[in-house]
Every structure is written in C-alpha cells, then in structure tokens.
Amino acid sequence: MLVKIIYLLLLTAWAKEYDKAFDLLFTSNVKEFDEITVHFQKPLPTWLLNKKLIRIGAGCFGMGDRKFHHVFDGFGKMHIWNLKPNRTTFSAKFVRTRTFVDSEKRNTVSPLYTLFDDTVPRQSLIDRLRSLFNGPDNVNVNIVKFGDDYLAISDFWSKYVIDIDRGETLFRTSPDFLHRSIISRRIPLLSSSHPIQGVNIVTEINPFGLNYVHLVQIKSAREVVNLLSIPVDEAPYIHSFSLTSNYAIIVANPVSISISKLFETLNPSKSIIWRENGESDVYVVDLRTLQYRKYRTEGKFMLHHVNAFEYNDAIIFDTTTYKSFTLIHDYQLDTLRNSTVRNKITDLPSLKRYTIDLKSGIVKHKLLSNRRPYQGLEMPVINELYRFKSYCFIYGISFKSDNIQFSNVTLIKVDICGKGRDRIWELNGHIPSEPWFVHHPNRRAEDDGLLFSVISDGIRLRSYLAVFNATTLTLVNTSPTPTLVPMMFHGYHE
Ligand SMILES: [Fe+2]
C-alpha cells in the first residue's frame, strides 16, 4: 500500500513538472539577444566548429492589450547558435515583419494584416475586413536557404530574407511568378513550409475559376520558376510534400480552404474544411517530363512528409498522418495551456509508409511502427545524406508518450528497417523540441552523428540546447540558453 501511495505521489509530481515545462513553451518572451557568448558543459568536437544552428517559432503570443487565440499566430522569433572556433554565440531576435513592427508601434496586435485566428479581445469587423485586404505577414514556421538567400517562411507565400549570422531581418519578398490581376493578387497564395532542395508547392485559390497547385523551383529570394500547374476542384491545404530523384509527390488530403467560408467568417482557421470520409488525391509529377498522373489513397491528414525514394516501378513515401484535421483546434492556445483540456486530445499522429505502384496505380499503406510512443512520432528529421534513398532512421518527438498526459513529450528514434534499434530519451519534466541531425564527417553508419534539440526544463524553469549521441540517443552535452525559448517549430543548420 505504502509503495502504491509513493508511486502515485511521484506520478503527480512528475505530471506537474512536465506541465510546467509545457507552459514555458507558450509563455511570451520578448527579450532579444545579439551574439552573446554561451558555454557548453564540455568542449565541442572540432568537426562541429563553424556550424550554425537556427530555430524559428512563436516567441510572443500577443501585444499590449490583445492576445492571440492560436499558436500559429505567435510572432516569429529566431534563435541562433553560431559555433565559432573560439566561442559559441547565441542570438534571439524577432523577425521584424511589417505586422510585428506595426504591432510594437501601436502596442497592440496590428489590425493591418491577416491573422490565422481571432485575437482576444476580438478585433473590430472593419479591422478584420481591412486585414484580409492586406493579407498575412507573420513568418514563424521555418528557415530555408534558396540560392544564397536565407528566408523565414510560413504556410503563405510572403517571406522575409534574413541575415542568419545575427538574425537581422533584411526585407520582405513575395515574387509574383503567376502574373495575376490586381484583384486576384489580393487573395494570398498558400505555400508549403517544407520546400525540398529549392522545390516547393504553391496553392492558388481562385473564387471565379479553377484552383491550382503549382510546382515551383525557388532559385533565390526574388527568382521563382513555375514548373507545372495542376488544376484542382478544391484548394487543398498542403504543409509538406515528398520528392525523389525523379518525382514530386503532392498529396491533396481531404482538407481544403473555402473562400466562401473565409468571406463569411473573416477567419482563415474557420475556413479550412475537413471532408469526412473523403479520399486523398496523390499527384505524381515526373520531373524529367513535367507530366503528372493522379492516384488515390485513404483520406488522412499528412502533416509532415519525412522522406521518399524510388524502388523498381514504385515510389515510396513516409509521412506523419492524422485521422482528421482536429489539430487545427488542438493547437488553440486555450487548449494547449489547459492540462485537463489538452490531455483529452486523441487524434495523435501515426507514422505511415505509402507505396505507389506506378504500373498498376495501386497505393498501399502501412504503419512504420506498431509500438507507442514510436508510432506517434512528429517533427520528423533524417540524416539528409539519405534523402531520396532507402533509409532506416527517423528522429522526432512524441507527445502524450505515456498515453495520459499530453505534455509528456519524449525524444525518439525509430528504426523503420525493423532491426530493433529504436531508442527513446525521456527525463522527468524535460520537454524536447524538434531535433536536428548533424552527421559525423567520417561517418560509418547512417546514424553516426549528433542530434540537437532545445529542451524546456520544468524543474529549473529554463531552456537549454542538448546534444545527443544519435546512435544511442544518450545526452552527451548541454548549453543553457540565457533566456527561455518558447515553442519552436522548425529550423536550419549548416
Ligand atoms: Fe511543419
């Protein structure tokens, strides 16, 4: 009996510490830092020197008297570690977008630009109408290199060019590669936040005609080439896609943007429609001929495509999948900040493999892991040397790892080759963010390298950069950050 009581007390204490770590992620941090020296617990291996690590996410959840309702509206903030030979520097800067600068000036959330969801208190009807006219402007999802330019991007087409040495915002860019009319230009283009080697997907919504999914090659901040335009009935929301050496795989899940709903609600988050029992259209584009074929598969929502490769007459792609699109509500700040409500989130991701037989047209699918928490992997990353190739390892994080508490987040490595090399890192009250893999220069195996992750520590109420041995997933080094790091989504390293 005594053992049971002690166990229950321990469980309750651990739950509180995970919740504290989780709450830190959704707490605004307006402090900025410019290349200040930070220290690792142990010396870094020399092969890591001169590398840069950059993360971007939601750094501030409102301004003045107005708060955001949805985490996707958080003002974009960058965190940069520059591993110089004599010292490591750390910078933390907001992307100085037009909406951020205007919000700072007014000391309230700018009424000029489209938000993903409402503010609290809600902006006036006139302000919401006016903001739709100007379109979205915040960028907080990813940092990507195109040519010599580094761009902060989101799921919309407008981007900001960044100086990644110090996190300075240089200028806004939104190349008009479609040469649309003045009226059509007022409807923002959607764009995947996960371009691959300069290739990306752009969705064009047209209330007076066909919608299109464009496959584009982004050569630099201002230079974009439209490779192919695919007409579609519904305008799909596509967060990521797959690429192989010869094919692009664009999956239009049964989730789409309704322009009539947008005009009715003046709220993009309420304009996304999930078609229950709908299927997914799979467009396979041959990059050599720019011809495409359409296939069908089950109607899941695929948030993050992981990797894809060709195998004989088949294309294989791996992705995280959801039963529906409830995550749009699950990521509202009221839900994320309330442990009772967020613990009721049930639509957790499943890691799946889809195999498209190009001859028969049949698309088969299977789970890549049958075991929790590995099956629930999100924010997937791989050894980039294995992009477009058959591979074994996916790294990521798993929410609700204990199947009870949503804030119980673990760092995981899934061996999809099934050789039992799955690994997990969990530490009471410590929440990892999306990891990133840096391969060893003299690598002997796919997982020979280091894995980095920013950790939210609910016990000491701080954040730190953690370095893991990617083979064993053991913690080998840490560097405390001089400030709390809120919810980071994705990033870049070189
Ligand atoms: Fe993403």
Q: Which helix (H) or strand (E) holds 164?
A: none
User: DSSP E strands: which ranges in 260-348?
Assistant: 272-274, 280-286, 291-297, 301-311, 314-322
Looking at residue 181, its pLDDT comes to: 80
Question: Ligand 1 center to residue 489 CA distance, Å?
Answer: 7
Return the closest-CA partner of residue 377 out of 406, 348, 419, 344: 348
Looking at residue 12, its pLDDT comes to: 60
| Residue 32 CB-density burial (10 A; 0-12 exposed, 13-18 middle, 19+ buried) | middle
Q: Averaged over 99-109, what is the pLDDT? A: 97
Q: Averaged over 384-406, what is the pLDDT? A: 97
Looking at residue 186, its pLDDT comes to: 83
Question: Ligand 1 center to residue 465 CA distance, Å?
Answer: 20
Looking at residue 4, its pLDDT comes to: 63
Check residues 133 and 470 and name the one with the higher pLDDT. 470
Question: Ligand 1 center to residue 142 CA distance, Å?
Answer: 8
pLDDT band at 5 (very low <50, low <70, confident <90, very high): low
Annotated binding residue 304: yes
What 3-state DSSP class applies to 396?
strand
Question: Ligand 1 center to residue 434 CA distance, Å?
Answer: 10
Q: Facing residues of 344 across strands? A: none
Range of the domain at 494: 369-494
HSE toward the beta carbon, residue 4, CA cutoff 13 A:
1
Cα–Cα distances (Å) from 349 to 369, 373, 437, in that order, read 12, 10, 21
Give me the count of residues in the chain.
Answer: 494
In a domain, 446, yes or no: yes
Q: Facing residues of 279 across strands? A: none
User: ∠ CA 254-375-276 to the nearest 5 degrees?
Assistant: 20
Question: Ligand 1 center to residue 46 CA distance, Å?
Answer: 31
Question: Ligand 1 center to residue 491 CA distance, Å?
Answer: 10
Q: Which residue has the tokens 């070189």?
A: 494
What 3-state DSSP class applies to 242?
strand
Question: Ligand 1 center to residue 2 CA distance, Å?
Answer: 46
**CB 281, CB 300: distance < 8 Å:** no
Strands 149-153 and 168-173: unpaired
Question: Ligand 1 center to residue 485 CA distance, Å?
Answer: 18
Question: Ligand 1 center to residue 307 CA distance, Å?
Answer: 14
Annotated binding residue 440: no
Please give the Cα distance from 28 to 301 (Å, whole number).
30
Annotated binding residue 69: no
Question: Ligand 1 center to residue 238 CA distance, Å?
Answer: 10
What CATH number is given to the structural domain containing 445? Answer: 2.40.128
- Identify residue 82 by its one-letter amino acid code: N
Q: Averaged over 257-280, what is the pLDDT? A: 93
Please give the Cα distance from 197 to 53 (Å, whole number).
18
In a domain, 418, yes or no: yes
How many domains, the chain? Answer: 1
In a domain, 99, yes or no: no
Looking at residue 247, its pLDDT comes to: 98
In a domain, 30, yes or no: no
Contacts of 341 (CB under 8 A, 6+ apart): 334, 335
Q: Which residue has the tokens 């020399």?
A: 46
Structure token digits, residue 120: 């609290």
Question: Ligand 1 center to residue 193 CA distance, Å?
Answer: 6
Question: Ligand 1 center to residue 196 CA distance, Å?
Answer: 13
Q: Which residue has the tokens 């409830």?
A: 326
Question: Ligand 1 center to residue 241 CA distance, Å?
Answer: 11
Structure token digits, residue 473: 């997933």
In a domain, 476, yes or no: yes
Annotated binding residue 194: yes
In a domain, 174, yes or no: no
Looking at residue 455, its pLDDT comes to: 98
In a domain, 397, yes or no: yes
Please give the Cα distance from 184 to 188 (Å, whole number).
9
Q: Mean pLDDT of all residues in the chain?
A: 94
Question: Ligand 1 center to residue 141 CA distance, Å?
Answer: 7
What 3-state DSSP class applies to 102?
helix
Question: Ligand 1 center to residue 102 CA distance, Å?
Answer: 26
Q: Averaged over 100-113, what is the pLDDT? A: 97
pLDDT band at 166 (very low <50, low <70, confident <90, very high): confident
Q: Facing residues of 452 across strands? A: 436, 467
Neighbours of 296 (CB within 10 A): 12
Q: Is the pLDDT of residue 2 over 60?
A: no
Q: Which helix (H) or strand (E) holds 190?
A: strand 190-191
In a domain, 456, yes or no: yes
Question: Ligand 1 center to residue 190 CA distance, Å?
Answer: 14
pLDDT of 434-488, one tens digit each? 999 999 999 889 999 999 999 999 999 999 999 999 999 999 999 999 999 999 9
Please give the Cα distance from 415 to 394 (Å, whole number).
7
pLDDT of 345-393, one tens digit each? 999 999 999 999 999 999 999 999 988 899 999 999 999 999 999 999 9
- Enter the DSSP assignment of 241: -
pLDDT band at 91 (very low <50, low <70, confident <90, very high): very high
pLDDT band at 8 (very low <50, low <70, confident <90, very high): low
Looking at residue 9, its pLDDT comes to: 55
Question: Ligand 1 center to residue 239 CA distance, Å?
Answer: 6
